[in-house]
Copies of this chain bind each other. A is one copy, B any other.
């Protein structure tokens, strides 16, 4: 016969745990001294303790374990328990992985933003835009109405999204109320969904400018960019693009002063030089 301390050493279960299992009726001591209340376990209890510990390692609940050890003593009898438990854990793992993927996406996104902040000089830059496949929803109205559309788009596109959200602007001048634009998400392959059209933009030379601050102040950056077009004697080609490197995040709405938007205007035909 072993005292609770000895039995704890043998089984690797803590004294507190053994007392708890006794209280729960899962693993009763062989006898209890009615003077002192001391619990005593005999060798036959060791295997039961081992079985319980093994099932706990597999994260079965104490209720399940109680049911299992009450009715069964062979693994072939508990395959259904194992299967059900397995399914439950698989569901949990899937949910956790989903969370992990969201966390990783946010972290990666922030790293990209940090990299942009470190390397950009916030000046007009000429560069090549790569070809890109976009899932788009074309809209008419105010630019500021794009919020919900972006939400729906992201939900439909899901994990097919492979870059920052963008907007295509089809008006040649600024329009407050009846603008013609499309909210877009770059995707790796075509997606079929209601209200979504696929647009394939070819590579293009473009003048770009990184705008830091609220969307309401984009106009200033557009002016700078257009001035540069004029200076170079070239014209912008529609649609122009806005790439939202940093805007309202997945968690915080964030500080608009820290929003980062890249305006990209493709270079159209050169004007005849005088």
A interface with B by C-beta (< 8 Å):
47, 51, 54-55, 57-59, 72-76, 78-79, 82-83, 85-86, 89-90, 92-93, 96-97, 99-100, 102-104, 106-107, 109-111, 113-114, 246, 249-255, 258
Please pick, from B55, B102, B252, B253, the residue contacting A58 in the complex, using a CB distance under 8 A: B102
Closest CB in chain B relative to A96 CB, distance in Å: 5
A sample of 6 cross-chain residue pairs with beta-carbon separation below 8 angstroms, ordered by A number, consists of A55-B251, A58-B103, A58-B251, A73-B252, A75-B106, A82-B107
Contact partner, A110, options B75, B93, B97, B251, Cβ 8 Å: B75
Oligomer copy total: 2
Q: Which residues of B contact A55 (CB under 8 A)?
A: 251
Are B86's CB and A252's CB within 8 A? no
- Is B92's CB under 8 angstroms from A96's CB? yes
**Other 19 A-B pairs with CB < 8 A, given A79-B107, A89-B99:** A47-B253, A54-B250, A54-B251, A55-B251, A58-B102, A58-B103, A58-B251, A74-B249, A74-B254, A75-B109, A75-B251, A75-B254, A76-B110, A76-B114, A78-B251, A79-B111, A82-B107, A86-B103, A86-B104
Decide if B252 touches A72 in the complex (CB within 8 Å): yes
- A250 close to B75 (CB less than 8 A): yes
Among B93, B109, B111, the residue within 8 A (CB) of A100 is B93
Task: Determine whether the beta carbon of A252 is less than 8 Å from that of B103.
Answer: no
- Is the Cβ of B74 less than 8 Å from the Cβ of A89? no
A96: B residues at CB distance < 8 A? 59, 89, 92-93, 96
Q: Is B74 a contact partner of A252 (Cβ separation < 8 A)?
A: yes
Contacts of A111 in B (CB 8 A): 79
Which residue on B lies nearest to A47, using beta carbons? B253
- Compute how far the CA of A25 lies from the CA of B62 in the bound complex, rounded to whole angstroms: 34
Whether B97 lies near A93 (C-beta < 8 A) is yes
Q: Which residues of B contact A252 (CB under 8 A)?
A: 51, 72-75
Determine the distance from Cα of A162 to Cα of B45 in the docked complex, in whole angstroms: 33
Which chain B positions have C-beta within 8 A of A90? 100
Give complex CA distance A252, B114 in Å: 55
Residues of B within 8 A of A75 (CB): 106, 109-110, 249-252, 254
Candidates B47, B100, B106, B255; contact of A73 at CB < 8 Å = B255
